[in-house]
Amino acid sequence: MRAPPWKIKVVEPIELRDREHRRRALAEAGYNTFLLRSEDVFVDLLTDSGTSALSQEQRAAMELGDEAYAGSRSFFRLEAAVHDVYGWRHVIPTHQGRGAEHLLSQVLVRPGLLVPSNLYFTTSREHVVLAGGTWVDVAVPEASDPESTAPFKGDIDLAALERVLTVAEPEGVAFVRQEACLNMAGGQPFSLDNLRAVRALTREHGVPFVLDATRISENAVFVKDREPGHAGRPLPEIIREIADQVDGAVFSSKKDHFVPIGGFVAVNDDELAERLKELVVVYEGFPHYGGIAGHDMEALAQGIRESADEAMVRHEVEQAAYLGGLLLDAGVPIVVPVGAHAVFLDAKRFLPHVPQAEFPAQALAAALYLEGGVRSMERGIVSGQHGDEPYDGLELVRLTIPRRVYTQEHLTYVAETVIAVHELREGLSGLRMTYEPAHLRFFQARFEPLTPMLEGSATTWRAAGRA
Ligand code: F0G
């Protein structure tokens, strides 16, 4: 693995609490890693969202934040960064990605309209559904196959999309959504060819095409590395070409743009921009700040420029590949190919004796915390099941790598923890849900183990060193 293109100037102490402390903390959190206190966590791989390290340039820019309610200088710097890197004409800042999804859904979705998309993201789908729309999965089948080594599992199934567009056309479809480095499939990219084909289909049927651009930079690296004809191109050029294919985009800037908070919706159409601006004042704030501070917009503008720096992006992708490689070598079942921002454990193969109704991924995430203080996130039936619909889809645990935060030693430690739990897997049972929230239940649901978790595992050789 290449050395990172940064060095560390400010550090945040972390501590591995002892096993009894972790056992208590886990029980108090209802076996849901979202409900742990971060001070009880040693290596925090819950999410790459808002957890990156700011650069010195971002911190310096924050000093220049213009906190004017309207006409803020910082807004115009943000707008210029979006124009320079992506080219979209109108930028409406929001407090984070879901703020952008909310505005877009309120403007484009009406009861009964369809939103075809590659798989789904939790908040993206929820906003469409709350606006009365229906989410339609048009991902390629490989997206739902953790063992398929297809290079572009973020592609849209063109035949499936065409069927939806033909049957509903054109007023039955609110917009088509394609997500870069498809999070729920394991951070899997789309190819430029596929994106162009979706562009052509949506144009033919007169339907808006919206990109979830949250992880566009990593997607561009995968295009460069895996798609014939792009190897020699500068990364900013590929990013720009991706952005050129769509009518607009939603962005959670808490990922690729290295900021703790912020996002935006960007569109080319003047009238659509006006309608979004009418709503942003209701839900987020004046269009020149959209729910974030002037200094946040400064950090974001600088972060957008850094997100097109190939050395920076490549290092993030290589960190995931490094962790994934250690796990594959040890025979741990993970989603392949390793994607953008995370390594995803395949809980169905990791714990084949635990039925999906007993939440194997949730149980595995809890066990990783208990074994090594490593926090991960369930991305299976708890996150994926929607209402009463049956769910037999992916059952994953995400080890998500914050950008510019952890070293190779941390990742090696994480691999050792996962491998220790893998060795103990036969003794691990599932969970029972004791509390289920009405919306996005994975955030706050509570569980109990069906049998005491990892009792006696402190005697294994790896655990012995840290118990
Ligand atoms: N779209 C994608 C692809 C995301 O991954 C996220 C957030 C959002 C939209 C929503 O953005 O959090 O800024 O409101 N993903 C985080 C994660 C939460 O952990 O994957 P947000």
Contact 328, 91 (CB under 8 A): no
Residues marked as catalytic: 69, 121-122, 212, 255, 379, 442
* pLDDT of 465: 53
The one-character DSSP state at 156 is B
Ligand 1 atom 20 nearest Cα = 47
Q: Is the dihedral of CA 77, 219, 222, 340 positive or negative?
A: positive
- What's the pLDDT at 389? 78
Distance of alpha carbon 79 from alpha carbon 300, whole angstroms = 10
Residue having the nearest C-alpha atom to atom 16 of ligand 1? 49
Q: Which of 403, 386, 402, 391 is nearest to 439 (CA)?
A: 386
Instruction: Give the helix/strand (H/E) hosting 251.
Output: strand 248-252
Out of 103, 219, 252, 258, mutate this one to test ligand 1's pocket (max ligand atoms within 8 Å of CB): namely 252
Span between the terminal Cα atoms of the chain, in Å: 30
Residue 241: count other Cβ atoms within 10 Å of its Cβ: 17
């080594």: which residue's tokens?
A: 149
Per-residue pLDDT of the chain (467 residues; tens, 9 = 90+): 899 999 999 999 999 999 999 999 999 999 999 999 999 999 999 999 999 999 999 999 999 999 999 999 999 999 999 999 999 999 999 999 999 999 999 999 999 999 999 999 999 999 999 999 999 999 999 999 999 999 999 999 999 999 999 998 668 999 999 999 999 999 999 999 999 999 999 999 999 999 999 999 999 999 999 999 999 999 999 999 999 999 999 999 999 999 999 999 999 999 999 999 999 999 999 999 999 999 999 999 999 999 999 999 999 999 999 999 999 999 999 999 999 999 999 999 999 999 999 999 999 999 999 999 999 999 999 998 877 777 878 999 999 999 999 999 999 999 999 999 999 999 999 999 999 998 889 999 999 999 999 986 654 445 445 44
CA angle 237, 232, 203 (to 5 degrees): 45
pTM of the model: 0.95
Atom of ligand 1 nearest to the CA of 100: 14
Which amino acid residue places its CA nearest to atom 11 of ligand 1?
Answer: 97
pLDDT of residue 461: 44
For residue 81, the tally of other CB atoms under 10 A from its CB is 22
For residue 432, report the distance from its CA to the centre of ligand 1, in Å. Answer: 27
**Is the Cβ–Cβ distance between 127 and 439 less than 8 Å?**
no
Within 13 Å, how many C-alpha atoms sit on residue 109's CB side? 26
**Atom 5, ligand 1: residue with shortest CA distance:** 183
Domain 19-48+310-466: which topology?
A: Aspartate Aminotransferase, domain 1 (3.90.1150)
Q: Is 11 helix (H, G, I), strand (E, B) or coil?
A: coil
Distance, in Å, from the CA atom of 241 to the CA atom of 239, rounded to the nearest integer, reads 5
Pocket test for ligand 1, best of 48, 49, 128, 178 (most atoms within 8 A of CB): 49
Question: How far, in Å, is the centroid of ligand 1 from the Cα of 49?
Answer: 7
Secondary-structure breakdown of the chain: helix, strand, coil percentages, each rounded to the nearest 5: 45, 15, 40
Contacts of 197 (CB under 8 A, 6+ apart): 158
Q: Quick one: which atom of ligand 1 is closest to the CA of 179?
A: 3
Structure token pair of residue 258: 């290295």
Atom of ligand 1 nearest to the CA of 181: 3
CB-based pocket (< 6 A), ligand 1: 47, 49, 96-98, 121, 123-124, 179, 183, 212, 214, 252, 254, 263
Q: Which of 365, 388, 407 is nearest to 6 (CA)?
A: 407
Q: Kindly give the distance from the C-alpha atom of residue 414 to the centroid of ligand 1, in angstroms, as a whole number.
A: 23
**pLDDT given at position 408:** 97
* DSSP-derived 3-state class of residue 259: coil
* Cα–Cα distance measured from residue 73 to residue 94, given in angstroms and rounded to the nearest whole number: 17
What is the token pair recorded at 466?
């840290």
**Pairwise CA distance, residues 94 & 100, whole Å:** 6
Burial level of 363, CB count in 10 A (0-12/13-18/19+)? buried
Domain residue spans in the chain?
19-48+310-466, 56-306
User: Whose CA is closest to atom 10 on ligand 1?
Assistant: 97
**Which of 225, 250, 247, 224 shows the shortest CA–CA distance to 92?**
250
Residue 276 CA to residue 114 CA, distance in Å, equals 20
Q: Is the dihedral of CA 285, 287, 291, 293 positive or negative?
A: negative
CATH 3.90.1150.10: does it fit domain 56-306?
no
Residue 48 CA: nearest ligand 1 atom is: 19
Place of tokens 């102490």: 13
Nearest alpha carbon, ligand 1 atom 21: 97
pLDDT at position 385, please? 82
